[in-house]
Structures are given as C-alpha cells and as structure tokens.
Amino acid sequence: MSLNREQIAQRVAKELADGYYVNLGIGIPTLVANYVPEGIEVMLQSENGLLGMGPYPTEDELDADMINAGKETVTAAKGAAIFNSADSFAMIRGGHVDLTVLGAFEVDQHGNIASWMIPKKLIKGMGGAMDLVAGAKNIIVTMTHASKHGDSKLLEECSLPLTGVNCVKKIVTDLAVLEVKDGAFHLLERAPGVSVDEIISKTAGKLIVEGDVPEMSFD
Amino acid sequence: MSGFDKVVTSYADAMAGLKDGDTIIAGGFGLCGIPEGLIAEIKRMGTTDLTLVSNNCGVDDFGLGVLLQDKQIKKIIASYVGENALFEKQLLDGELEVELTPQGTLAEKMRAGGAGIPAFYTATGYGTPVAEGKEVKEFDGRPYILEESVTGEFAIVKAWKADRYGNLVFRHTAMNFNPMAATAGKITVAEVEEIVEPGELEPSQIHTPGIYVNRVIKGNFEKRIERVTTRKA
C-alpha cells in the first residue's frame, strides 16, 4: 500500500531531532508538525518572520497581525521570537535553519529540485522556496513518486525550471524513502507492501538498491 | 510640521509629490501589515505607470490589488502574486510587467537599497531562471549571483505605533517587510494605529528609527484576514 499524506508526514517526522529549528512548507510538510516524536522539542520557523510557531488560534485569540507564511492565522509558541523579513531570510540563507521540508514537482539524481513553475501555466512565484533550498542545512522533499498519469517525478534531470541546484538530501514519497548522493537516488526504505520492483519501475533517474530494503514501520 | 514633527493629518499631504512613473516600495505580507489608507489615497490620486516593489499584490478588492482596477501599475517586483483575477488578466494581456524575485532576495534588495549598498551576492536562485543575465561569482567553491538593490521615490509602510518624530514600532508578524521598506524610500510615509509623544516609546524597543521616516499619519484599519484558520477552544 502506498502511503497517504498523513503517513508521509509521519515518516518525515522521524527525521526530526531534539533542538531542531525547522521550516515546513505548505501542504504535506505542514502536517509534519502533528507528528513530532515524544520527548523531542523542535521550533518551527515561518519565513514571514516568526520563530516558534504555535497552533492555530481559538476564535477568541484570532489576531490579524499574527499569520504564518501561508497567510493563515496562527499563534506564537512559548519562547517565540518575531522579526522582520530580512532577519528571517538571514537565518535561512545563513544556514541557521536545521531542516527544511517542502513539496516539489520533480527532483533529479543530482539533488536539483523543481517546485515553483510550470511553463505556460499561471506562474504565481517562488515565494521563499529558492532562499530555503539555497540555505537550509538539510532539505527533505515530500511528493508522490509518480504523477497520476504514472510519470516518474524522480528524474535523471529535472525538465521544469529549477528552484535550486544540488540541494535535496532526502525524499519521502508515497512509495519510498530515498537518499540523494553521488549523482543517484539510494533506496533506503519502502512503504509497507510496496515491492522494490514497483519503486524501480517508477523511478526514472539512476536508482541504487543495496541488499534487502526494509519496510517503513509506523508506531 | 516643524522640527522633527513628522505628523500629517490628511492623506493628500501624506502622499503629496507622488507622480506618474514613480517607484513605490511597500511593506506588508499578503494583507498583513499593509498601509491601507495610503494605498486608497494612491488609487484616489489616479497616479499611473507605477513600479511597485512589494512581496505580494493584494487581492482583487483589497491591498495593492485595488491599484490594478484603473491600471495604475506598470510593473511589480514581488515574490508571490496571483491571488487575484485582475492581476492574471492584465499579465496575460501584456498590460502588466512582473519581475518575480525570491522572497529573501527581495527583502535584502530593500535592506541593501536603504543601506547604500548597490548590489550583493547570494546563492539564492543560482541555476534557476532567476539567475538569467546575472553575474555569477564563486566564493569558497560555491557559485553566487549578483543581485541589485532597490530604492524608490516613495516607501509606504504600516506600523503599530509611531511617535511624532517618526520612530516606529511594529506589532507581531505585521512587521514583515515594513522595516526594510521604510529605509528604501526617498520619501517614506508611515500609516500607524497610534501616534504618541516623543519619549513615550522606549528607545531600545524602537524597530525603525525616525531618521528613515518623513511623514506619519494615523490611519483607520480594516485589517482584513486572508485566511482565517482556527482551532476549537
């Protein structure tokens, strides 16, 4: 069985470590915040200028001056800091954010990522994604392994305009966990019940499979 | 106005001198922390051929989006746009020019512009369409692109509190691009929720020193929320 959105988020959450500053993108990455493992403290960075993002407000707490980078109303967690956009991107670009999790259209075997622009469709802009992939120490991409037409999103070379180059370290898809290094995808884990053959058939880029590939476990 | 007193009492005075073809640097993130009354005044003035530098371009009927209604904007430099239908139409019709810029690069362009730094190198955007036509230089084996800073004839910002000298304090994430925008205008106008007397703001808590601010006006804010998200109490 391929993983659903919640399970992808749950698997990404296992990559979190105590004391991490983390920036979560829109979509599946946002769900990662719901699965922070017991006994681990992380602080969420929102690039509009908030370090220590809390949950959504209650109706009573609702405040137009308190939003996240997705323009949703949020709260500040205990010990949060608020700052301007230049400071926010100084901590991102300067490599102070431990982990960035974001979605993508395509990733290639060199760790290049395309996530913001499909030519001839409406282009809304890259927001903070290019700064995040250029600056974070560790970048994990979440996406489906193949499009709904069955086209692989793990390519030899990205076909869409890039968001950043040589930056993606790990990918969690609905089928597998893969590491990107030395110009290839390395299969680390497979989704429960998904065969290595299926993953091979849906990976267009160079894929290294070594030994028995363990199934992911969910507690 | 006398001495360091920057307070004006009409929007006409606040935006006096704005002319066709000017560049305006605007603070705000989506609809959060935007100078609502100053934007309304620019619409009333009918100034055209404007270049806007702002993270976003509002929505159809609020924020900078209202300046699209009478085609006042020639060009916008932003990181994320298209939350409105009019924007899309004018872009596709070739009536509007858009220069998409990574959010951190945009913030730094304003910061550098206000700080007298004409350009800076950043790794952001290297190897992407953003890098096209820009100088590339390696430092410690990593390639960076040269980005030029921005300044404008006007900067319009929204703050929580100001004193009469133009010292500004922002509230929560309504700060966003406002402090950088405030430094990058030849004339910087701050629309604020409350004006206090000099000395009432704690000097070490001021976000934007008054030297950057030319005019201060007290506004009435709707503070529209783009996406209301709540949890159960």
Is pLDDT larger for residue A123 or for residue B43? B43
User: To which residue do tokens 């409105």 refer?
Assistant: B84
pLDDT at B83 exceeding the cut of 90: no
Helix (H, G, I), strand (E, B) or coil at B220: coil
Q: Is residue A213 part of a domain?
A: no
Burial class (CB in 10 A: 0-12, 13-18, 19+), A78: exposed
**Residue A137's pLDDT is what?**
87
pLDDT at A217 exceeding the cut of 90: no
**Residue A149's pLDDT is what?**
94
The identity of residue B97, as a single letter, is E
pLDDT at B1 exceeding the cut of 60: no
CB B94 within 8 A of CB B70: no
pLDDT at B183 exceeding the cut of 90: yes
Region A98-122 average pLDDT: 94
Region A178-197 average pLDDT: 97
Instruction: Enumerate the residues of chain A whose CB falls inside 8 A of the CB of residue B125.
Output: 130, 134
Q: Is residue A38 part of a domain?
A: yes
Instruction: Enumerate the residues of chain B whose CB falls inside 8 A of the CB of residue A130.
Output: 102, 104-105, 124-125, 128, 130
Q: Is A67 in Cβ contact with B225 (below 8 Å)?
A: yes
The domain spanning residue A36 has which CATH number?
3.40.1080.10
**Residue B92's pLDDT is what?**
84
Mutate to test the interface with B, among A45, A53, A74, A84 (most CBs of B within 10 A): A84
Q: Encoding tokens for residue B128?
A: 């992407």
Burial state string for A161-194 with b = 16 or more CB within 10 A and e = fewer than 16:
bbbbbebbbbbbbbbbbbbbeeebbbbbbbbeeb
Give the H/E segment covering residue B120.
Answer: strand B119-122
What ranges in B53-177 are assigned the alpha helix state H?
A: 85-92, 103-114
How many other CB atoms are there within 10 angstroms of residue B37's CB atom?
21
Q: Show Cβ contacts of residue B164 under 8 Å, excluding neighbours closer than 6 positions.
A: B4, B5, B6, B7, B195, B196, B197, B198, B216
Region B82-106 average pLDDT: 90
Confidence of residue A97 (pLDDT cuts 50, 70, 90): very high
- Is the minimum CB–CB distance between A74 and chain B shorter than 8 Å? yes
Q: Is residue A9 part of a domain?
A: yes
Of the partner residues A62, A71, A86, the one whose CB lies closest to the CB of residue B107: A86
Q: Is residue A218 part of a domain?
A: no
pLDDT, mean over chain B: 96
Helices (H) then strands (E): counts for chain B: 5, 11
For residues A163 and A139, what is the distance between their CA atoms, to the nearest angstrom? 13
Region B154-176 average pLDDT: 98
Helix (H, G, I), strand (E, B) or coil at B139: strand
CATH hierarchy code of domain B11-218 = 3.40.1080.10
Region A114-122 average pLDDT: 88
**Residue B91's pLDDT is what?**
86
SS3 annotation, chain A:
CCCCHHHHHHHHHCCCCCCEEEEECCCHHHHHHHHCCCCCCEEEEECCCEEEECCCCCHHHCCCCCECCCCEECCEEEEEEECCHHHHHHHHHCCCCCEEEEECCEEECCCCEECCCCCCCCCCCCCCHHHHHHHCCCEEEECCCECCCCCECEECCCCCCCCECCCCCEEECCCEEEEEECCEEEEEEECCCCCHHHHHHCCCCCEECCCCCCECCCC
Q: Is residue A216 part of a domain?
A: no
User: To which residue do tokens 């030029």 refer?
Assistant: B148
The dihedral built from the CA positions of residue A169, A170, A171 and A177, taken in this order, carries a sign that is positive
Q: Encoding tokens for residue B167?
A: 């010292």
Burial class (CB in 10 A: 0-12, 13-18, 19+), A60: exposed
Q: Is residue A65 part of a domain?
A: yes
CA-nearest residue of chain A to B34? Answer: A65
How many other CB atoms are there within 10 angstroms of residue B116's CB atom?
9
**Residue B2's pLDDT is what?**
72
Global model pTM greater than 0.95: yes
Helix (H, G, I), strand (E, B) or coil at B223: coil
For residues A53 and A36, what is the distance between their CA atoms, to the nearest angstrom? 14
- ipTM of the assembly? 0.96
Region B59-73 average pLDDT: 95
Give the H/E segment covering residue B122.
Answer: strand B119-122
Region B141-161 average pLDDT: 98
pLDDT at B137 exceeding the cut of 70: yes
Query: Which candidate, A174, A105, A172, A109, places its Cα nearest to that of A142?
Result: A172
Instruction: Enumerate the residues of chain B whose CB falls inside 8 A of the CB of residue A71.
Output: 29-32, 226-227
Instruction: Enumerate the residues of chain B whose CB falls inside 8 A of the CB of residue A92.
Output: 104
**Residue A171's pLDDT is what?**
98
Q: Encoding tokens for residue B119?
A: 């350009």
- Is the minimum CB–CB distance between A72 and chain B shorter than 8 Å? yes
CB A134 within 8 A of CB B131: no
**Residue A136's pLDDT is what?**
85
For residues A98 and A17, what is the distance between their CA atoms, to the nearest angstrom? 9
- DSSP E strands in B16-78: the ranges are 23-26, 50-53, 73-78
CB A134 within 8 A of CB B124: yes
Confidence of residue A218 (pLDDT cuts 50, 70, 90): confident
Of the partner residues A50, A56, A66, the one whose CB lies closest to the CB of residue B231: A56
Residues of A marked active site are found at 47
Instruction: Enumerate the residues of chain A whose CB falls inside 8 A of the CB of residue B232.
Output: 58
Of the partner residues B80, B88, B230, the one whose CB lies closest to the CB of residue A127: B80
Instruction: Enumerate the residues of chain B whose CB falls inside 8 A of the CB of residue A126.
Output: 79-80, 100, 102-103, 130
Distance of CA B99 to the CA centre of its chain: 15
Q: A102-111, B84-93, B182-191, B196-205 — which is least confidently predicted?
A: B84-93
CA-nearest residue of chain A to B221? Answer: A64
Q: Is A66 in Cβ contact with B173 (below 8 Å)?
A: yes
- A7-21 residue pLDDT tens: 999 999 999 999 999
Q: Which domain holds residue A109?
A: 5-208
Residues in chain A: 219
CA-nearest residue of chain B to A46? Answer: B173
Confidence of residue A83 (pLDDT cuts 50, 70, 90): very high
Q: Is residue A199 part of a domain?
A: yes
Q: Is A127 in Cβ contact with B79 (below 8 Å)?
A: yes
Region B114-137 average pLDDT: 98
Of the partner residues B30, B103, B225, the one whose CB lies closest to the CB of residue A131: B103
Confidence of residue B53 (pLDDT cuts 50, 70, 90): very high
Confidence of residue B170 (pLDDT cuts 50, 70, 90): very high
CB B32 within 8 A of CB A65: yes
- A24-76 residue pLDDT tens: 998 899 999 999 999 999 999 999 999 999 999 999 999 999 999 999 999 99
Q: Is B232 in Cβ contact with A58 (below 8 Å)?
A: yes
Count of domains forming chain A? 1
Domain-by-domain residue ranges, chain B? Answer: 11-218
For residues A48 and A85, what is the distance between their CA atoms, to the nearest angstrom? 6
Q: Encoding tokens for residue B138?
A: 């390696």
